[in-house]
Structure 1
Amino acid sequence: MLPQLAVFFIFEDFYHYHMHRFMHWPPFYKKVHKVHHEYAAPFGIAAEYAHPIETMILGFGTIGGPLIYHALTSYVFKLDDAWGLHLVTMLLWIVLRLFQAIDAHSGYDFPWSLCNWVPFWAGADHHDYHHQAFIGNYASSFRWWDYLFGTDTKYRAYRKRQAEERRKLKMN
């Protein structure tokens, strides 16, 4: 179950990164993705506030991983049932994905937020910057896509300035 969930998260995040970045292409942003960005300071349930077209496009990232996994294990490689996709795994995946989306839009990194335990997990701070700046930080779960494709440089500079300001305040 855990390896399947890890594969689903990686697939969803890779897909989400690229589709989310595409949604910031001006013609698409203006007509579709702008709905989601009505909240510059998002809150949990705003994660699901989006244009229906955006919901369909990004929703494929959530169901696409399990669908592709099932197709590969059942029909392409014809693996036995031990490799199959169990209903409980699918339900847990949906719950975890929803938790991740709400957590990233909560505006707060809770003590139980994965960004406190997994160094490459994005978290609320990472996504809040995206809603403030309207550019960069496109990944939903893992920071590595933004780092790899160079779409977090302004965020990293922003965090560096914040750290410097905190350091100066402590000195006074």
Structure 2
Amino acid sequence: MWDAIFFSALAMTAIIAARYFASSGVFALATRFRRPGYHDRLGPQIRREISWSLVSAAIYGIPAGIVAWGWQERGWTQIYTQWDAMPLWYLPIAPLAYLALHDTWFYWTHRWMHRPRLFRAMHAVHHASRPPTAWAAMSFHPWEALTGAVVIPALVFVIPIHIAMLGLVLAVMTIMGVTNHMGWEMFPRRLVHSRLGGWLITASHHQRHHEEYRCNYGLYFRFWDRLCKTDRGLSERV
């Protein structure tokens, strides 16, 4: 049993690391074409971002691997594979619930990590990326990575979700994590400045957090920032 759990954790770590290289690599390449020179003289910073991200991949991979083993071998989780196991109307509800709960957890833990002592101990690694790049999406101190690694593994125990919808949640996490750190806005201005865009976090919103630190703490949605009056709008540099 322990061998199977070990190899499951190892496999998930490898998958997360590969996903990181693929997604960050694609958007780093897009940055080279969209913003020529943006990464010039950032070589040492990018190498640090990649090093910290590989550590984060292991921290994310271990609980994910344990949960994957438990799902397959013991039926521990609420993940299901049959389309008719739950009503079809429920399919989009689960990923929205996952994203909303993850966003809530992220907002409050992120804001908590901006307290001076915790910032120095946990969050300064991430903010050492000046300016942030696509490689910074998982560049976390291990303690910070741990706060993010437990959310989805915990939710699959309590909220039923189809395996395909779980894949959608992970895809949104990956894409938004990378694109919010690119240093340029990939989404159309018409969307970013629309009524819908006013509730979504994109690069121009998160960039302002990296510029001013004490604002724009959210991950996917601007709900908590607006409710708690920590939303300072969009960066003018993106």
TM interval, short-chain normalised: 0.7 to 0.9
Match of 1:104 in 2: 180
Distance 2:139 2:124 in 1: 11
Q: Distance in 2 between matches of 1:151 and 1:64?
A: 28
Describe the shift of the 1:24–1:139 C-alpha distance in structure 2 as closer, same or farther (beyond 3 A). same
Structure 2: 5+ residue stretches without partners: 1-90
Deviation (angstroms), 1:112: 6.2
Q: Which has the higher helix share?
A: 1
Question: d(CA) in 2 for partners of 1:61 and 1:115?
Answer: 27
Aligned residue in 1 for 2:203: 124
* d(CA) in 2 for partners of 1:125, 1:36: 18
TM-score by length of 1: 0.74
Offset from partner CA, 1:92-131 (integer Å, 9 cap, x none): 2111111111111122221369746732101111110111
User: Structure 1: which amino acid aligns with 2:180?
Assistant: A
Report the equivalent of 1:135.
Answer: 214
CA contact (8 A) 1:44 1:103 kept: yes
The number of residues matched between the two structures is 143
Displacement of 1:23 in angstroms is: 0.5
2:125 aligned partner: 35
**Aligned pair in 2 of structure 1 residues 36, 8: CA closer, same or farther (>3 Å)?**
same
Q: CA RMSD, aligned part only?
A: 2.2
Whole-Å Cα distance in 2 between the matches of residues 10 and 108 of structure 1?
25
- Matched with 1:50 is 140
Distance in 2 (alpha carbons) for counterparts of 1:3 and 1:69: 10
Counterpart in 2 of 1:75? none
1:149 aligns with 2:228: yes
Give, in angstroms, the shift of residue 32 of structure 1: 1.0
The answer to whether structure 1 residue 60 and structure 2 residue 150 are counterparts is yes
- Equivalent residue for 2:105? 15
Structure-1 separation of matches of 2:208 and 2:126: 14
Shift in Å, 1:69: 0.8
- AA matched with 1:98: T
- Is 1:2 the counterpart of 2:95? The answer is no
Cα distance in 2 for residues equivalent to 1:58 and 1:133: 22
> More deviation in 97-106 or 86-95?
86-95
Scaled by the length of structure 2, the TM-score of the pair is 0.55
Assess, with a 3 A threshold, how the Cα gap between structure 1 residues 64 and 44 changes in structure 2: closer, same or farther. Answer: farther
Structure 1 counterpart of 2:220, one-letter code: S
Deviations 1:56-96 (A, max 9, x none): 102233443333314xxxxxxxxxxxxxx222222221111
Cα gap change, 1:115 to 1:7, in 2 (>3 Å): farther
CA distance in 1, matches of 2:179, 2:154: 22
Between the aligned partners of 2:158 and 2:110, the Cα distance in structure 1 is 20
Structure 1's unaligned 5+ residue stretches are 71-84, 163-172
